[in-house]
Amino acid sequence: MTHLLGGRYDLQEQIGGGGMAVVYRAVDTMLGRQVAVKMLRSQFAGDEEFIRRFRREAQSAASLSHPNIVNLYDVGVTEHNEYYIVMEYVDGPTLKDVIRERGPLPVDEAVAITEQICDALEQAHTRHIVHRDIKPHNILLTSSGQVKVTDFGIARAITGNTITHHPEDPVLGSVHYFSPEQARGAATDAKSDIYSLGVVMYEMLTKRLPFSGDSPVSIALKHLRDDFVDPREWNPRIPQSVENIILRCLAKSPADRYPDMAALKADLQTALLHPDVPKYMKPRQPLDETIAIPAVGGLRAVEESGSGKSGGDGPRKKRRWWMPLVWTGVTLVVIGVGAAAAYYIVMDSIQTPNLQLPNVTGETVQTAVAKLHNAGFNDIVEKQAVNSKPAGTVYDQSPEGPTEVKPGRTITLWVSKGPQQNLMPNLTDVPVTEAVQTLQNLGVDVKSQVTEQPVTNSSLPAGEVVQTDPAPGTPLTPTTQITLQVSQGQMVTVPTLVGLTLDQAVAALKQANLVEGQVTYGPYPAPDQTVYKTAPYVAGDRVPAGTPIGLWVANNSGEGGGVPGGAANNTTGSGTGPAAGGSSNTTGQGTAMGDSEPKTIEVQVNDPDGKRIHVQIFKSDAESTRAVAVDQVIHGTTSWAVTLVVTPDQPGQVLVYEDGQLEQNYPVPYSN
């Protein structure tokens, strides 16, 4: 679909909708970001009531700014009289989808979600706005688990007036979450949202609703006068402290509920710290002498205004003796008609045989529809959503089967659109630890799918990602192998140090942005304090800045290298990785003196998690400098024996690198 709204919004696909509006995923071509566009259905474009409600949603959302409330970006109307609202696009499921797929939810997760909903509603209530339609369908979850409350379409400012529900109000889908005062048609306030939130908590923790019935009217009546099964009877894992919160939220009388969202949130924050508390005793609810017909199914809620007393100070009107007789007659007629209608409805329900509804979850949608048709069900609604099941598979149904239901019942099938398709993110210039965490958040198995490759010719700071394979935007699958090229830092050149004094060599290293490594003293035909050899790198090698350079210094006095400015036998374990082309590089900077001695060093690299590690072991001795002893990728703890040849003036050294990082450094002195 291509339809540019307001000269900037390119509609991509329909992602939702209700009786009043349709929601599209779109691209804001001016800012280059994804947005959600809610458009009033065309059949309501000329209906002032719907336009007024649509504008009220925009006004309610525009006055709210909170991390847990979907942001409003823009509103408008096109030349074709199309009303639209542009909102933040949340790439995640609704809470209803999560409950269907994973319910009942773990207690800690349900409590965390409820706390965020409390934050959002507390902000709305502070702005004197009651949501009035809190249900899992209107609660979105981002990939990081952040809650976003949406759809303030029937939100109203808090007033002392009774709210009259018009017959065309689309409230039937919300009747399971109604507060008793909403069902009665009475005034609503913040405590109505508290009741609805209690229903949402009940559903999250039991995957059931506290009240259900054959019609919206029957469900509304249950909210008014019936009790429900305590949630711990469905799910014993619910702590008593959490059940107490639900019971208090679902009190019939608003006076028995929490006074506000702040009080509710305070109990949520301590519920898991103190789970074992006495059970909350639900207050006994007196039966209403007269229960108003709920405001559902196209019927208005009507509250009687009194017992016939007149107000004001004017003269009392003379009663007509025949008025009571007329009202008595009307009442008897109404009762008679109602009784007759109820009789025929009940008898028709009893005489109509039930049909056996099969369980079609796990079937392809084509097979599921065929089975339902064969069972006698023709009113089938399909709803699609992202799910771990293969695309085209039914992952939930309502009512659940197998069961018996009346003919003509609408059967809703939730059909999977397939798993969430993730794309390779742009990780360039990102620290490697952050890049790995980002991939893990996308569901990538970093142990089996991600490899870090050191790059020694990058200008980026050490530890940042230089490039990725695959490139950003590439679709990721559970088997995609990802390589992160990681910068080893700024590269510098090793200066000429042979022939300098130790102090001069240390100064030259500092100027080249390198550091002094191990200093080894020994007899050599040169003036004392003169550097006669460097290792593991020699003049001209390109190495990362900060690399330690080992120095061999002449000492013919036999006094053990107490040279001012030097650090005799100084061993450092720092390092950032091997330089390219540095293997098996003989220096030719001196001739070994004295007897040779073989030495064997046991090297072990621990890999308890079985993650792939690239191990490189270099040895320097009387025969070679920086010779490659091991270059191997391991999948578990591994050991090697490295043999060196050392002399009195040519001690050895073993360097162990793991994924390009120097992890172990073994000096090997001559001991004979």
Please count the other Cβ atoms lying within 10 Å of the Cβ belonging to residue 339: 10
Residue 595 among the catalytic residues: no
**Alpha carbon distance 432, 463 (integer Å):** 6
Number of H helices, E strands in the chain: 14, 29
**Alpha carbon distance 395, 402 (integer Å):** 15
**Alpha carbon distance 640, 603 (integer Å):** 5
> Strand, coil or helix: what is 413?
strand
CA angle 13, 476, 466 (to 5 degrees): 115
**Alpha carbon distance 195, 211 (integer Å):** 13
Residue with tokens 């020694």: 456
Please count the other Cβ atoms lying within 10 Å of the Cβ belonging to residue 143: 14
CB contact at 8 A, 497 and 541: no
**Alpha carbon distance 630, 490 (integer Å):** 26
Of the chain, the end-to-end C-alpha distance in Å amounts to 84
Ranges assigned E (strand) in 591-637: 597-605, 613-620, 627-634
Angle between helices 190-206 and 240-249 (to 10 degrees): 140
> Strand, coil or helix: what is 382?
strand
- Measure CA 262 to chain center: 24
**Alpha carbon distance 212, 176 (integer Å):** 7
Instruction: Report the DSSP beta bridge partners of residue 156.
Output: 130
Catalytic residue selected from 28, 133, 189, 621: 133
Residue with tokens 């499921």: 93
CB contact at 8 A, 116 and 147: yes
Long-range contacts of 221-225 (CB under 8 A, 24+ apart): 221/183, 221/291, 221/294, 223/178, 223/179, 223/180, 223/183, 223/294, 224/180, 224/183, 224/184, 224/252, 224/288, 224/291, 224/294, 225/252, 225/285, 225/287, 225/288, 225/291
Tell me the one-letter amino acid at 19.
G
| CA nearest to 634, candidates 605, 656, 657, 663 | 605
Instruction: Give me the phi and psi of 342, to 5 degrees please.
Output: -60, -40
For 183, 211, 214, 282, 346, the CA distances from 219, given in Å and listed in that order, are 9, 6, 8, 20, 17
- Measure CA 151 to chain center: 20
**3-state SS, one letter per residue, for 32-81:** CEEEEEEEECHHHCCCHHHHHHHHHHHHHHHCCCCCCECCEEEEEECCCC
- HSE-CB of 318 using CA atoms within 13 angstroms: 2
Cα dihedral across residues 644, 648, 649, 655: positive or negative? positive
Instruction: Report the DSSP beta bridge partners of residue 542.
Output: 493
Which is it for strands 403-405 and 156-157: parallel, antiparallel or unpaired? unpaired
Residues marked as catalytic = 133
